[in-house]
Amino acid sequence: MLTFDFHSPVEEISLPLYAEKQVRVFMKRDDLIHPYISGNKWRKLKYTLNQAKQEQRTLLVTFGGAWSNHLLATACAGAKFGFQTYAFVRGERIDNPVLKLCQIFGMQLEFVDRQRYKNKEDLFHERFGNDQHAYFIDEGGYGKQALIGCSEIIDELADHYDHIFCACGTGTTAAGLLEGIHQRGLQTTLHAVPVLKGGEFLREEINKLTKRADDNLQLHSTYHAGGYAKTTPALIQFINEFTQQTGILLEPTYTGKLLFAVHDLLKKNEIPAHTKILILHTGGLTGLLGMLDKF
């Protein structure tokens, strides 16, 4: 079992909107777990890396875009726990701070065109099919082992919350939260906010990992701001205002859209008064480096 472990704190956020709507809002600060293996990235990698260790694999092979928090987390975790790391990067060759950090941690990068990238298992088998030391990790850390890690978030909560909100990219974090809610017999409603356009398909992805997708799950699929890693002036303004009011840094790809959704739903009175809300901050703040020109 890997020895690195950390339970992130929960803090209450006080804003005029919350007082007006008579709700209490808390944030689970998974962004504080680690500077680079932060948030749900560590949750997803924890048991995956343990499985790789048990199978005596020494090379982690994974996938992601040029600004992927998952790639950086895997590179850092590989260095920390004694793995070599290799990543297939979607799109044309590019140099940026996130990929440079991946390389500093020892990760080898291979850029592949977007069409070839769609067939991740084929890429893995072409390059590493005969390598018994190589271990496949899907994009974003998606998988059953990741589900277990994300379900532990619920185990760490000392209080009960009526509503829990999380951003949704692959559906793994939401699936894990649903599993944790079910295991503890809670009546909590989970709200998942897809960050990519057409995010309704994520209900099916969540169902592949856990059959709880129809239990206590609400999917809010209209807060994508035009698509994955897309922004709007209203979203950027919101992030600036929230960060300046709370001292909690957000980024536009995941947590910014998540908080924007929470505030909009409150303004529309779609969340009842006198309820307790928990928002999961999933980290990934290095994604800001590629979007600073938006601010």
DSSP 97-123: HHHHHHHHTT-EEEEE-HHHHT-HHHH
| pTM, 2 dp | 0.93
Q: Are 131 and 78 within one domain?
A: yes
> The domain containing residue 212 runs over which residues?
10-36+149-294
For 268, the token pair is: 């529309």
Residue 2 lies in a domain: no
Whether 65 shows a pLDDT value over 80: the answer reads yes
At which of 141, 169, 192 does a domain end?
Answer: 141
Whether 1 shows a pLDDT value over 80: the answer reads no
For 152-179, what is the mean pLDDT? 95
Q: Strands of 276-281's sheet, edge to edge?
A: 10-13, 24-29, 276-281, 163-168, 189-194, 217-219
Is 68 among the catalytic positions?
A: yes
Q: Are 47 and 185 within one domain?
A: no
- Percent above pLDDT 70 for the chain: 97
List the helix and strand counts (H, then E) for the chain: 11, 10
Residue 3 lies in a domain: no
Residue 92 Ramachandran class (φ > 0 left, ψ -120 to 50 alpha, else beta): beta
Whether 5 shows a pLDDT value over 70: the answer reads no
Backbone φ and ψ of 93, nearest 5°: -60, 135
Rounded to whole angstroms, how far apart are CA atoms 209 and 164?
Answer: 19
Q: Are 290 and 199 within one domain?
A: yes
What is residue 216's predicted lDDT score, i.e. its pLDDT? Answer: 87
Residue 20 lies in a domain: yes
Q: Are 189 and 285 within one domain?
A: yes
* Reported confidence tier of residue 34, pLDDT bands at 50, 70, 90: very high
Residue 240 lies in a domain: yes
Number of domains in the chain: 2
Residue 5 lies in a domain: no
For the chain, what is the mean pLDDT? 94
List the catalytic residue out of 8, 14, 38, 68.
68
Domain at 175, CATH number: 3.40.50.1100
At which of 115, 141, 167 does a domain end?
Answer: 141
Whether 211 shows a pLDDT value over 80: the answer reads no
* Reported confidence tier of residue 198, pLDDT bands at 50, 70, 90: very high
